[in-house]
Amino acid sequence: MTTRGALIVFEGLDRSGKTTQTEKLLKYLNENGKKAIIQRFPDRSEPLTGSTIDNYLRNASCINQTKEAIHLLFSANRWLLRQKIEELLKEGTNVIVDRYSFSGVTYTLSKGVSKQFACPPELGLIRPDAVLYFDVDPAVTAKRGGFGDEVLERTDFQQKVRENMKMFENQSYWKKINANETIDEVHKNVCAIVNDLIPKVATNPIESLDEKDFGL
Ligand code: DGP
C-alpha cells in the first residue's frame, strides 16, 4: 500500500527561527531516506500573486493599507499551491511548510480585520498533521539580525500576532516549541516530534481545514 507523506507546518513570529529549522529538518529527513520538500508561504515565486505580495512586504508605507485585499492575496497564494501539495503528500513526500493559514489569519486579525472576514478563505485548504509553533517573546526577535527590514516587523505588531496565535492552542495538531533554546536543541525537539508523526499519519486520509480549526 502507498503511504502518504505528512504535512508539517512551521509557524511563529518574524525571526523566530522557523526558516533555519525547516532547512535543518529537510536535510535530516533526506539523510534518513525520507522524501521531503519545503514549501514557503507566501511563495514569492508563484506567478499570479508572488511578486505583488513581495512588493507589498518590501514597500508598503502603512501596514493598514489595503489590508483586506492583501489578506485575500496571501490566501490565494496558498490556494494556488493546494493541488501541488496534495499530489506530493499522496505520492509519499513529506511537505514542510514555512507559514500557512495560521499566519494568514493572525497577521490579518492583528491589523484589526474581523475573524468573520479573515478565516473563511482558509476553509478547504489541507489541514496540517502538525503545526510546530515557534513561541518567542517579540522583545527577543527584535534583537535578531534583519529584524525591521519589512513592513510587519514591528514589536507592537508582533506582540498582537503572538496574542492572536493563542486561538489555536487547543488544536490537537498545535505543538508549541520553545524558540529561545539553541538551534541544535530546537532541531532535536523538532526531529522527535516529526519522527513520531510520520508513521502515525501515513495511512490517514488527507483532510481539509474547516470551521472548527478557527473556532467559527
Ligand atoms: P516571511 O517570508 O515568512 O518572512 O513572511 C513575510 C511576512 O508576511 C511576515 O511578516 C509574515 C507575513 N505573512 C505571512 N503570511 C501571511 C498571510 O497569509 N497573511 C498576512 N496578512 N501576513 C502574512
Candidate from 108-112, 130-134, 137-141 with smallest mean pLDDT: 137-141
For residue 124, give every residue at least 6 positions away whose Cβ sits within 8 Å of its Cβ, in sequence order, or none: 82, 208, 209
Task: Tell me the pLDDT of the chain averaged across its residues.
Answer: 94
What was the pLDDT predicted at 64?
Answer: 61
pLDDT(57) > 80 = yes
pLDDT tens digit string along 11-46?
999 888 999 999 999 999 999 999 999 999 999 999
Q: Is 103 in the pocket of ligand 1 (CB under 6 A)?
A: yes
The finding on whether 158 has its CB within 6 A of some atom of ligand 1 is no
How many whole angstroms from 21 Cα to the centroid of ligand 1? 17
Region 7-214: CATH code: 3.40.50.300
Place of cell 479573515: 118
Give the pLDDT mean for 57-67.
73
Domain residue spans of the chain: 7-214
Taking 80 as the threshold, does the pLDDT of residue 148 lie above it?
A: no
Residue 123: pLDDT band by 50, 70, 90 thresholds? very high
Q: Is any ligand 1 atom within 6 A of the Cβ of residue 42?
A: yes
Per-residue model confidence (pLDDT) at position 61 = 67
Residue 2 and residue 92 in contact, taking contact as beta carbons nearer than 8 Å: yes
For 54, residues 6+ apart whose C-beta sits below 8 A from its C-beta are 42, 44
